[in-house]
């Protein structure tokens, strides 16, 4: 059985490490912020570390535009969907934190996406056939898992894999 996300995370448990970037997206307790991520529509992503366990996480910070209206329906739908997507081939959703006029989503931290991995392959070389097959199989498993739950990714690209 998959571990349920924590819906009331205390960000004081985390140490911010650095900004990873800003991105399109609609956080777990005892983390230190480590770094930030890529440009996008809804907010900024930070790398953080749990102060006690040293677990690395990615924290997506979403500013709530209209404080008096509460959490936007789109964010509620995303959180609900993320809770259903516990799978070995999908980044783990750890939980959320709501503080002042900001919503934070915490995820498992992934060291490298497929784009960065492929960029490391020398131009005059190819990935072994077995590696390509393994990656393709894992991607297909994740997509199938999502589709069985009536979820579409809508932005499949190497940077998101």
Alpha-carbon distance 121 to 26, whole Å?
33
Cβ-based neighbour number of residue 30 at 10 Å: 18
* Residue 47 C-beta-side C-alpha neighbours within 13 Å: 16
* Residue 41 C-beta-side C-alpha neighbours within 13 Å: 5
String of b and e for 140-158 (b: at least 16 CB within 10 Å)? eebbebbeeeeeeeeeeee
68 is catalytic: no
Alpha-carbon distance 98 to 7, whole Å?
9
Catalytic residue list = 155
């Amino acid at each position: 059985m998959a571990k349920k996300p924590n819906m009331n995370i205390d960000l004081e448990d985390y140490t911010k490490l650095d900004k990873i970037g800003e991105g399109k997206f609609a956080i777990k307790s005892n983390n230190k912020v480590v770094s930030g991520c890529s440009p996008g529509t809804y907010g900024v992503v930070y790398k953080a570390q749990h102060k006690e366990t040293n677990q690395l996480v990615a924290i997506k910070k979403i500013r709530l535009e209209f404080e008096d209206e509460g959490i936007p329906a789109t964010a509620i739908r995303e959180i609900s969907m993320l809770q259903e997507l516990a799978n070995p081939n999908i980044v783990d959703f750890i939980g959320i934190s709501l503080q002042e006029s900001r919503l934070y989503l915490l995820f498992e931290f992934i060291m490298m996406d497929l784009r960065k991995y492929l960029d490391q392959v020398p131009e005059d070389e190819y990935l072994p056939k077995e590696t390509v097959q393994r990656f393709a199989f894992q991607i297909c498993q994740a997509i199938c898992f999502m589709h069985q739950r009536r979820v579409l990714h809508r932005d499949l690209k190497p940077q998101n894999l």
